[in-house]
Amino acid sequence: LPLDERLKRRIIDGERGGLEADLDEALAAGRSALSIINDILLDGMKVVGELFGSGQMQLPFVLQSAEVMKAAVAYLEPHMEKTDDGGKGRIVLATVKGDVHDIGKNLVDIILSNNGYEVVNIGIKQPISAIIEAAETHNADVIGMSGLLVKSTVIMKENLEEMNTRGVAERWPVLLGGAALTRAYVEDDLRALYTGDVHYARDAFEGLSLMDRVMT
Ligand code: B1M
């Protein structure tokens, strides 16, 4: 198989052996770490999602694919271009209550960290009280929430309502992302109820450009 196809298959098959050698080969061929992630590996994860969604792949295998994806991203991270030092602003990042999906959130962390932001990544299954507490403690400029389940889109709505109730909405612009969200849901429905700023990021790069916009 050609290298791109081989790497993609590794994600789909959850095959970790020889992963580093293939990644090295892609880097040596002049591919950037980000292009390997975006153009090859994420394509593989997409197939995994389709196979799982259609009942052709069982959960333990999805987990294996996720592990290979994470290992690949960790291996590639040192090869990413880093601009500056975290002085552009601070964001608290979490996957919302009841949701364990963190590959996307961690990609957002890497992209923001490598582009001048300080990221306080508090992990998965975080209730809004913990997110607000971390934002207080770390004096965050922005709160970022990720969630992939349809259920998580409802949790995000409840979280924004809770922030309104606590009177902290004006303090923190919120960045939302994750596969089950739509731009319309965030920009029409959620924006109508949240008294602060709320933005939808389709991917980590839109997350970065939104951070740049919010912080200027
Ligand atoms: Co799950 N899972 N999963 N899963 N899983 C999905 C989300 C699903 C769509 C699969 C499917 O059915 N086709 C489906 C949800 C269906 C729904 O809600 N209607 C699903 C399900 C059902 C489940 C379980 C309920 C299965 C079960 O137990 N029966 C269970 C949930 C457990 C829970 O959360 N309570 C579950 C578990 C798992 C694993 C643990 C096996 C594993 C996660 C491992 C991990 O993350 N550590 C897993 C995986 C891997 C997936 C799929 C296949 C891939 C997700 C992924 O990592 N994508 C997924 C299928 C899919 O998404 N279509 C699926 C790659 C990642 C880079 O994309 O996270 O979308 P994503 O991030 C993108 C953008 O969304 C954006 O940037 C990233 C790209 O640059 N982004 C942000 C994300 N967050 C952002 C935040 C931002 C900005 C941008 O700012 C704050």
What is the DSSP track for 40-86?
A: IIHHHHHHHHHHHHTTSS-HHHHHHHHHHHHHHHHHHGGGS-----S
- pLDDT tens sequence across 136-170: 999 999 999 999 999 999 999 999 999 999 999 99
Task: Catalytic residue, from 65, 113, 152, 199: name it.
Answer: 152
Residue nearest to atom 45 of ligand 1 (CA): 101
Catalytic residue list contains 99: yes
Q: Is 102 in the pocket of ligand 1 (CB under 6 A)?
A: yes
Q: Copy the structure tokens of residue 166.
A: 């606590």
Q: Which of 1, 39, 7, 2 is nearest to 20 (CA)?
A: 7
Q: Copy the structure tokens of residue 133.
A: 């507490």
- pLDDT tens sequence across 69-96: 999 999 999 999 887 777 899 999 999 9
* pLDDT at residue number 116: 93
Q: Copy the structure tokens of residue 67.
A: 């592990």
Opening angle at CA 199, ends 210 and 190, nearest 5? 180
pTM above 0.80?
yes
